[in-house]
Amino acid sequence: MSPAELDAVARKITIAFAAVGIIYVGALIAKLFTYTIAWVRPGRKLRKYGQWAVVTGATDGIGKAYCYEMAKQKLDVVVMGRTESKVKELCSALETKYGVKTLALVEDFSAADQAMFDRVAGALKGLDVGVLINNVGMSYPHAKYFTEVDSKLIDDLIRINIYTTTQMTKTVLPGMEARRRGAVVFIGSGSATVLPTDPLYGVYAGAKGYVEQFARALAVECKPRGVDVQLQAPLFVATKMAKIRKGSLTAPAPAVYARWGTGAIGYETVTTPYWVHTIMWGIISLMPLKLWDAIRMSQVRSIRKRALAKKGKKSS
């Protein structure tokens, strides 16, 4: 090959790399623009979906915060939880503060079966349910290798994160489709949607991965029928389940997260609505997989080590 031909080939390669770079940078700019729009756009008026909101796992953390956000929007609220005193206390607080109606449903999702969902269907019969917040969920007590996860924990993770979420949707969705309006919101997890891998939390991440794919499929099915379906995938939020006591910039208080989450309803199918989590998602997506795996393994091993040490002190 002559020098002229080599020079021509080099120019073509340079142009090709430049084109790829321009496309990549353009995609990043477009994504950043989309994120910026999401942070400043107005939230939907949720009463357009219907009169009632149903919130599962409603007495603590994100679920409780969502109950307040729904009531702020002047939706009546069905409060679902397993502790009767907490359910009734929250119902009373919502009625007093916002003047909305509430319905207390006391059910233990860890013992969910078809009879329970038949009871729920009966209680909701005749209600104009416009919003379903599928919030109930559970994770590991602490990071564990899969071989350390006992059968009961596996059953509970699948039952609460997959079975109950699916059945609650099955209970509520037909009415929404009949009225041709409604919004179903799944509270997924960054463990499945944002993080490329989440070792030592594999069953939880896998269960939440099911929720994401279920939500994506339903969104396509339901959009022509007037129902918006969304998967929200938070990273850390200061809740009992996350074992974070105090909110911070990267792990917001439930009230902060729910405010951002409520503003996102009716927009993207899959989102992590809290703005800092969105930035974190972008950063993580750019990391080489091996680097991420090394960082995450270091984190979860540390979590496991501390948890085992704490258990050892309690038993001694």
CA distance 199 to 188: 17
CA distance 50 to 288: 45
Is 68 known to be catalytic? no
Contact 112, 155 (CB under 8 A): no
The strand pair at 129-134 and 102-106 is best described as: unpaired
Q: Extract the tokens encoding 217.
A: 């499929």
Report in angstroms the alpha-carbon separations of 196 from 269, 282, 294.
19, 12, 12
Contact 209, 218 (CB under 8 A): no
Query: Could you tell me where the DSSP H helices lie in 82-163?
Result: 84-98, 114-124, 151-158
From 68, 201, 204, 274, active-site residue: 204
The 3-state DSSP class for residue 232 equals strand
Q: Extract the tokens encoding 17.
A: 């790399």
Specify the amino acid at residue 104: A
Closest CA to 81 of 57, 103, 45: 57
Q: Extract the tokens encoding 203.
A: 């069953």
Q: Which residues are catalytic?
A: 204
